Structure 1
Amino acid sequence: MIRVFIVDDHTLIRDGLRALLAAEPLFEVVGEADNGQALLDQLPTVAADVVLLDLNMPVLDGLATTHRLREEYPHLRILLLSMMTHERTIGEALAAGAHGYVLKNADKYEVVAALQGVAAGKRFLCSEIGLGLLDKLLLQEPRPPAPGTSPGVHLTHREREILQLVASGLTNQEIADQLFTSKRTVESHRQNLLEKTGVRNTPALVKYAMEHGLLKL
Structure 2
Amino acid sequence: MTRIFLVDDHAVLRSGLRTLLGQEANVQIVGEATNGQELLDQLPTKPADVVLLDINMPVLDGVATARRLRTEFPQVRVLMLSMIDQPLRIGQAFAAGANGYILKNAERAEIMVGISMVLAGKRFLCSEIGLSLLDTVLTAELRPPVPSAVSPLSRREQEVLQLVAEGLTTHQIAELLFTSKRTIETHRQNILEKTGAKNTAALIRYAIAQGFLPAEGSGGA
TM-score by length of 2: 0.65
Q: Deviation digits for residues 95-137 of structure 1, max 9, x if unmatched?
A: 1110000001111111111111111222110001100111011
Tell me how far apart the structure 1 counterparts of residues 16 and 83 of structure 2 sit (CA, whole Å).
16
Matches within 5 A, 1:53-68: 53-68=53-68
Aligned residues: 151
Task: Give the corresponding residue for 1:181.
Answer: none
The whole-number CA distance in structure 2 between the counterparts of 1:110 and 1:88 is: 23
The within-5 A match list for 1:31-110 is 31-110=31-110
Identity %: 56
Structure 1 segments unaligned to the other structure (5+ residues): 144-196, 212-217
- Which segments of 5 or more consecutive residues in structure 2 lack a partner in the other structure? 145-211
SS in 2 for 1:45: coil
Query: Which runs of structure 1 show a deviation greater than 3 angstroms over 4 or more consecutive aligned residues?
Result: none
> CA contact under 8 A between 2:21 and 2:108: conserved in structure 1?
no
Corresponding residue number in structure 2 for 1:142: 143
Task: Please show how residues 135-214 of structure 1 align to structure 2 within 5 Å.
Answer: 135-140=135-140, 141-142=142-143, 208=219
Structure having the higher Rg: 2
Once residues 61 and 95 of structure 1 are traced to their aligned partners in structure 2, the CA distance between those partners, rounded to angstroms, is 14
Q: 1:46 to 1:136 in 2, by over 3 A?
A: same
Aligned to 1:170: none
Q: Which residue is equivalent to 1:10? A: 10
State the match for 2:187 in structure 1.
none
1:89 alignment partner, SS class: helix
Relative to the length of structure 1, the TM-score reads 0.66
Aligned partners of 1:120 and 1:142: how far apart in 2?
Answer: 38
Shift of 1:21: 1.0
* 1:118 aligned residue: 118
In the alignment, the residues of structure 2 paired with residue 105 and residue 48 of structure 1 have an alpha-carbon distance, to the nearest angstrom, of 23
